[in-house]
């Protein structure tokens, strides 16, 4: 009897949060920022795929499609989307939204956080999954055979999604603390890239998206059960020089590539662990959301 009585009560408590999430998703889809980002990410994915289709192996080509979400430029779009719900002009209607609905402060914050996260992950998956499926299944004459696995593709998409989740959570935290969207964006940009550059110098893929982008080909070659002595495939190294040129187009200085001086260096990530990388981005995401909830709970709306 107690269980049947508590189930409707939980559904009633969640209904306002779901309504806020749906309303926020509707507002996001109607915004020009999300629509232009969707068009831009599809266009960039198509451009990278067609431009490197004739000669780049599967693993480097798929990694090239994921680099914009890990390094540049989509970080800026995600941050702008993340800081807005609890800062700036949004705070003027925030009190009315809480007072007019039977929803708590943390319920409102989690609903808007979930809406932002769903929008970001939706654009990310729409922009990458079709191209990755085409690359993995297509037979491209003249391109070295590459041992990309289904497990590697799924886990790569998953960890990049965790990085985006961390960015959204950090944006929420910065927006809650600073209350000014522009200031929050500037602080995150000037904190994110220097810290990642320092961490990437130590090849800490579980904390630095730059290092993670270099380890993606290694992850794409991974199997759920890897036989002893399996190197994971060597064809991925042949496309690294093209990726070095691709990264240099964003203004990053690279020296002339040598046989081992390339952007993707799988031998640097022999101890790559999907579990360790997942925890490295999931735990800070939960901490950032928790701090944002705490700050939002104690502040005056």
Q: Is the pLDDT of residue 93 over 70?
A: no
A 10 A CB-CB count for 7 gives: 10
Domain membership of residue 190 as a residue range: 16-298
243 domain-assigned: yes
Question: What tens digit of pLDDT does each residue of 195-237 get?
Answer: 888 887 777 778 889 889 888 988 998 887 655 444 444 444 4
- Count up the domains in the chain and report the number: 1
1 domain-assigned: no
Question: What tens digit of pLDDT does each residue of 169-191 get?
Answer: 999 898 888 878 888 888 898 88
Question: What tens digit of pLDDT does each residue of 32-59 get?
Answer: 999 999 999 999 999 999 988 888 888 9
Contact 281, 163 (CB under 8 A): yes
2 domain-assigned: no
212 domain-assigned: yes
Q: Which region among 78-82, 180-184, 267-271 has the lowest average model confidence (pLDDT)?
A: 267-271
11 domain-assigned: no
pLDDT, mean of residues 69-92 = 76
245 domain-assigned: yes
**Which tokens go with 154?**
């799924």
Confidence (pTM):
0.81
Question: What tens digit of pLDDT does each residue of 96-146 get?
Answer: 555 455 667 778 888 889 999 999 999 999 999 999 999 988 888 878 877
What's the confidence (pLDDT) of residue 227?
54
6 domain-assigned: no
94 domain-assigned: yes
Q: Cα–Cα distance between 201 and 228 in angstroms, integer?
A: 29
């Amino acid at each position: 009897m107690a269980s049947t009585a508590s189930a409707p009560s939980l559904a009633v408590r969640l209904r306002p949060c779901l309504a806020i999430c749906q309303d926020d998703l509707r507002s996001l889809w109607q915004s020009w920022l999300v629509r232009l980002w969707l068009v831009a990410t599809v266009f960039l994915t198509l451009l990278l795929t067609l431009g490197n289709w004739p000669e780049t192996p599967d693993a480097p080509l798929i990694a090239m499609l994921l680099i914009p979400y890990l390094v540049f430029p989509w970080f800026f779009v995600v941050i702008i989307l993340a800081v807005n719900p609890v800062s700036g002009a949004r705070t003027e209607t925030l009190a009315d939204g809480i007072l007019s609905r039977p929803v708590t402060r943390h319920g409102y914050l989690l609903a808007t956080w979930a809406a932002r996260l769903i929008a970001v992950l939706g654009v990310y998956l729409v922009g990458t999954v079709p191209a990755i499926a085409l690359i993995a299944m297509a037979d491209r004459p003249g391109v070295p055979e590459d041992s990309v696995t289904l497990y590697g593709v799924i886990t790569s998409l998953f960890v990049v999604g965790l990085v985006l989740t961390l960015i959204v959570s950090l944006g929420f935290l910065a927006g809650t603390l600073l209350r000014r969207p522009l200031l929050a964006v500037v602080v995150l940009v000037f904190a994110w890239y220097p810290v990642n550059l320092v961490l990437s110098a130590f090849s800490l893929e579980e904390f630095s998206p730059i290092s993670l982008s270099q380890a993606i080909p290694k992850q794409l070659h991974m199997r759920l059960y890897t036989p002893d002595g399996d190197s994971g495939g060597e064809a991925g190294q042949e496309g690294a020089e093209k990726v070095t040129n691709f990264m240099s187009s964003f203004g990053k200085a690279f020296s002339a590539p040598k046989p081992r001086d390339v952007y993707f260096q799988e031998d640097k990530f022999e101890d790559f662990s999907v579990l360790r990388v997942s925890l490295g981005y999931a735990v800070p995401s939960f901490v950032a959301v928790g701090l944002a909830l705490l700050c939002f709970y104690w502040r005056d709306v």
